[in-house]
Structure 1
Amino acid sequence: MAHDFGLQTASGHLTVSEDSKAPYPADVEAQFRADAAEVIARYPQKRSALLPLLHLVQSVDGYVTGRGIDLCAELLDLTTAEVSGVATFYTQYKRHPNGEYTVGVCTNTLCAVMGGDEIWDAVSDHLGVGHDETTADGKITLERVECNAACDYAPVVMANWEFFDNQTPESTIALVDDLTAGKPVAPTRGPSSLCTFKQVSRVLAGFHDGLADEGVGAGPASLAGLKLAHEQGWTAPEGASATAPAPTASESDVSEAPAPAGPAEPGNTEVTPASDEAAAAKVEPAATRDPDEQAPAEDDAKARTAGSEKAPRKTSAPNKKGS
């Protein structure tokens, strides 16, 4: 099956090429079915295995092919339309030949402010490709990413979803050049080496590669808040007050609670006698009141009505024309 790497066509990447529908070789299909059976066995309903099976297709073909869609539909008792609907919804599923490395440049707010847009422009010009396009040699697929979930290291670039923190246009160009040249590249955090797109797709399908515990998971910037809490002696609430549910209005009369002696602590949401919550809690729900008792509002209304019946009402003469 030929891989036609390059720029997007006029129809984008939503069509399935005819050559991608060619059947799998017998040995490849047999291995796929064996792996798929292992994945499907993890779910009470086999259709729930569709997401990992699509990653499994990408681990074999490098993208979601027509033959992969057909095989997923057969194994999960789905229609090809149902499989295609999922494959076109999530951006991690590629409907065109993907590069050996997917390089995603974050251009969301914080990364953009810190230089993400400059990185994107420089790398896009350097590689000669735009968003979701692949270099002609099949090495790099470039993506403009909304957020890499690592704002404390902005601007951030990801390669096959591994972090490259605090990047610059120069460092990112050096990264893609090393990947193109086949040089070993180590992410800032995570495993000591960068896996290929197909290798990562197999991990996402649920097959571990043994690299989960390699490298640093959280760097100093991510742990700054925890360090500050230790320095200040801040701790989370402990004991019954930290886990017990808040009492309801029937369990405690908040109107009798004493007012706080001093200013509330930061983050305190204490209900005071003057608060709206306390005022609302004073009125007993109608479902729990004695039917012979009148609600305070009803008593007031009756008193006003009785008073108005005893006192004569003043009437005004109707308006007349010319009066």
Structure 2
Amino acid sequence: MKKIDSKVINAPIRWAGSKKKLLNEMLHAFETDKDVYIEPFLGSGIVLLNVLENQMYRKYYVNDINNNLILFYNTLKNDSAQLIKRIEILCREYNGFSNDEEKWDYFYKKRDSFNKNQIRCVTRSALFWFLMKAGYNGVYRVNSKGKFNVPCGKRDKIVCNKEKMEEISKKIQNVEFFCMDYNLFIDKILEKEKKKSIFMYCDPPYMPETESSQKHILYTQNGFEHERFIEYMDEKCCKEDISVMISMAETKNVEQLYKEHVNFNKVKIEEIVRKVNPTKKMKSKEVAFVNYEVDENSMITP
């Protein structure tokens, strides 16, 4: 097991549902005797960035169906100077307003511009960063027409850490970013890489408990089919000898769905945390489903 740095690298964007509080310990359960890292649901990118920081693999392929997210990361990778410059202008303008009404008015004007889709890539990526930073709780949500509809949050000031953004841009130079449905992405990578060399980490969209909660967590306008996902993973990945970890919030629906698939074993993240960091208190009920043996002894740090 490779030594994991105890310091967690933050993602460059604000994002609800981040794995930051669990990440350092969770990485100890990753299978690291592989060469290729695949992540079909990138989200904030915090897992990828810390995998890169710890140099856990040789090749990196990541994907997300959210085209604005992938555009942001590709822009940060290929044109970081211009992106940071645009973000700094947005921060300066927003912070220059003296009251909430002016800040909110500015936010909604920028949201309207973002939703018109008639803007250059760098400008769009800067607006995406700004809306996630100034929006409510770092939530990304779209309506049935695919328009970003998250309201403004209560933030007096927003800041862009230029040095951190530049560092992340350097880290992701060897990462290949994709924007497609997860199964098409996985199929594409399996065509070019040896299956036994792959470790895949999946953090699919939250599985809602009720219909009402489903309406409030719409990540894309088409939603997400968990049954389709686990059936694909069971058939495509487990039978192909690909090492997979799937992390989910522990709910009755999750338990019911995954217990029917014998190729995955459940591991409670809190048990991983307890082995790696016995003094850490954890409130989150997070579980992981893996199709490989987790070496518990390798999690115990001196």
Q: TM-score, normalised by structure 1?
A: 0.21
Tell which has more relative contact order, 1 or 2 (C-alpha 8 A, sep 6+).
2
Higher strand share: 2
Give me the TM-score of the superposition, normalised by structure 2.
Answer: 0.22
* Largest Rg, 1 or 2: 1
